[in-house]
Each structure stands twice: as C-alpha cells, then as structure tokens.
Amino acid sequence: MIARMWHGRVPLVRATEYEAYLAVTGLADYRATPGNRGAWLLRQDEGEVVHFTTLTFWESVEAIIAFAGPEYERARYYPEDDAFLLEREPQVRHFTVVDTPECPSPSTGEATG
C-alpha cells in the first residue's frame, strides 16, 4: 500500500470555505477512484494561515496514476484552487506503508485493518 500526501496553505478567512470545497472536489475524487483505500483531510491553523494536508492510501502506483495521471508525483489541482491557495506546491509525497494498525475509517468511524 502507498500513502500519498499533499499540502496547501490558504488564508484563515477562506479556510472553512476551502475545507467544504475540498470535500466535494479532491476528497470525493480520491474516494471514487478504484484502488483508493481511504482519504483523510488534516487542518492546522497557524495565525492568519491554515495548512491543509490530504493523506490518502492506495493499493498501487497504478491506482494513483488512475487518479493523478502519468506524472503521478505532481500535485493535481482543480481550476478553482487558485481562488483559495496562497501558492501551488508542485509535488506530492509518496510513502510505502510498512505497518497498518487498526484505526477508524474516515467515513464510518469503524475500525479497519
């Protein structure tokens, strides 16, 4: 399994709106892509800036490519992102998952393994 992390920063005054926007764009697309094993949205308020990180889990590189395209290490953006983001970070980070303890599912709250 592979973990994919993306990070973006938005002004605090737009953060709640961006969070809702992410739910219907990126998070919905992640979860609808075959091979996606889960998607989490993390938020960190830091003064007048809010950091968002998406953490997604995938069965394979091929599943990530189905979502992000052949240049799967590049961040995937939506046209409306520019109205919120302070900048577009060009890359995402990928990690090989080496241990998967029981944790709550992001959609149901039930333990998964």
> Could you read off the pLDDT of 21-42 as tens digits, one per residue?
999 999 999 999 999 999 999 9
What is the CATH number for 97? 3.30.70.100
The pLDDT assigned to 59 comes to: 95
Q: Structure pTM? A: 0.85
60 burial via Cβ count (<10 Å: 0-12, 13-18, 19+): exposed
Q: How many other CB atoms are found less than 10 A from the CB of residue 17?
A: 12
* Domain tally, the chain: 1
Domain assignment of residue 55, given as a range? 2-112
Q: Which of 48, 80, 67, 62 is nearest to 6 (CA)?
A: 67
Amino acid at 37: R
d(CA 102, CA 18): 30
